[in-house]
């Protein structure tokens, strides 16, 4: 499941059996394979799992596709990049997204994928905006918070 780069890991990934259980739970909930934030939140609640773990699991199942709801999308590698902090990055992005949504501010989507083909630069994040795609190599919670503010302005 993890095709990680040959660096010394900095983080412990979510256990593979937990990811497999969450992936199965998602597939049972979305026969059509389309994921949206509400469905992912409900799955996390039903499966009693952290939301970021559910997002990480979703990225590992190619048949599951995220619906696009905003012009700005943060796509996080949730495969081998878990060894380099992808889960804390996801936690930060999900918290920032929810904060912006609650404040009725312009917001963004959080999507995941099992690999973004830049494994040596994990945690790898790609940011899609109307201006194009930007890579955030070696992403951290601080780096993605800055990127959200750059793309959408500071949250009030
Ligand atoms: S494991 Fe390949 S980019 Fe993350």
Assess if residue 20 is contained within a domain.
yes
Residue-number span of the structural domain to which 121 is assigned: 16-152
Atom of ligand 1 nearest to the CA of 121: 3
C-beta of 79 in contact with ligand 1 (< 6 A):
yes
Q: How many CA atoms lie within 13 A of 155 on its CB side?
A: 19
Residue 63, domain member (yes or no): yes
Specify the CATH number for the domain of residue 51: 3.40.30.10
d(CA 124, CA 136): 6
pTM of the predicted structure, to 2 decimals = 0.94
Does ligand 1 come within 6 angstroms of the Cβ of 3? yes
Residue 6 located in a structural domain: no
CB atoms < 10 A from the CB of 80, how many?
21
Is 98 domain-assigned?
A: yes
Flag whether 148 is in a domain: yes
In a domain, 65, yes or no: yes
Mean pLDDT of 78-101: 98
Ligand 1 centroid – CA 79 distance (Å) = 6
- 3-state secondary structure string, 87-133? HHHHHHHHHHHHHHHHCCCCCCEEEEECCCCCHHHCCCEEEEECCEE
Q: How confident is the model at residue 4 (pLDDT cuts 50, 70, 90)?
A: low
pLDDT of residue 34: 93
Domains contained in the chain, number: 1
* Residue 2 located in a structural domain: no
């Amino acid at each position: 499941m993890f095709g990680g780069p040959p660096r010394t890991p900095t983080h412990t990934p979510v256990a593979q059996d937990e990811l497999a259980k969450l992936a199965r739970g998602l597939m049972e909930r979305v026969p059509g394979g389309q994921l949206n934030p509400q469905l992912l939140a409900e799955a996390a609640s039903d499966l009693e799992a952290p939301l970021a773990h559910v997002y990480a699991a979703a990225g590992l199942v190619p048949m599951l596709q995220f619906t696009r709801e905003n012009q700005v999308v943060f796509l996080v590698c949730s495969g081998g990049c878990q060894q380099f902090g992808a889960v804390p990055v996801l936690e930060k992005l999900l918290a920032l997204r929810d904060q912006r949504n609650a404040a009725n501010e312009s917001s963004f989507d959080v999507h995941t994928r099992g690999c973004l083909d830049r494994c040596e630069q994990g945690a790898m994040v790609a940011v899609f905006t109307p201006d194009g795609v930007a890579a955030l190599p070696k992403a951290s919670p601080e780096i993605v918070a800055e990127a959200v503010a750059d793309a959408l302005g500071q949250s009030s």
